[in-house]
Structure 1
Amino acid sequence: MTKKKIAEDFLKLAVAGHSNEAFRLYTGKNFRHHNVYFKGDAETLMQAMEESAKTNPNKIFTIHHILEDGNLVAVHSHVKQNLTDLGAAVVHIFRFESDKIVELWDSGQPVPNKIINENGMF
């Protein structure tokens, strides 16, 4: 399985409420992340992802781009909490050791009500 496919599967499992499985299958022992709202360990992030899936069971997750460069994979996506939510553009950056995710960064930008740029966000 390619790193791009692992990153995609990891995110899709987490969004669907299966973050335990995503972490079990795809993360390495020394996993760490950089989301400023949670402690930097795997267990804390996994629990936050589980809670998010329970709170927002109708979440819509659309991947627009996946890029791979050496041991890094970037996923550009549109995440909506429900059908009426405008959502956010999100970029997840994964660092791999062999075929395991060992580090994760995420950054998001809310989709505004009025988009001035004629090219859109996606």
Structure 2
Amino acid sequence: MSAMNHVEIATTFLRMCARGEVREAYARFVAADFVHHNAWFPGDRESLLLAMEQSAAAEPNKSFEPKQVIEGGDRVAVLSHLRRAQAELEYAVVHIVRFADGRIVELWDLGQEIPKDSPNALGMF
């Protein structure tokens, strides 16, 4: 079996985290010196790992579907559709993942709630 490329690693990591397989995803794909830019948590590896675990435990039935993936150099950007079951909310989410030596070393994420009555017939995807 050949090694996974950056796109496969990024999308697999995000899907695993959304399913609640956070520790396994981190063990397989995330570097020890990982940092992130989520404004709601300290920028270290452990803080985001714990936040992802708490999110998965609080909302185990969320749906996460990558829609577009762009790769350039050491970075992969993933546009995804996130559905939160309990809150009946949907989001367009972008994750930018930076790699070094085949592992995720940095992550940016941002999201926008999808309006129920958008005037844009094309939608967000």
Output the TM-score relative to the length of structure 1.
0.96
Of residues 83, 93, 100, the one that matches 2:96 is: 93
Matched, 1:3 2:2: no
Structure 1: state its 5+ residue gaps.
none
Matched, 1:34 2:54: no
Residue aligning to 1:105: 108
Residue aligning to 1:73: 76
Give every structure 1 segment of 4 or more consecutive aligned residues whose post-TM-superposition deviation is greater than 6 Å. Answer: none
Aligned equivalents of 1:44 and 1:77: distance in 2? 23
Aligned equivalents of 1:84 and 1:14: distance in 2? 19
CA contact (8 A) 1:60 1:83 kept: no
Output the TM-score relative to the length of structure 2.
0.93
CA contact (8 A) 1:33 1:41 kept: yes
Structure 2: state its 5+ residue gaps.
none
CA-to-aligned-CA distance 1:83-110 (integer Å, 9 cap, x gap): 7723100000000002100000001000
Shift of 1:7: 0.3
Residue aligning to 1:12: 15
Matched, 1:46 2:46: no
Name the SS for the 1:87 alignment partner.
strand
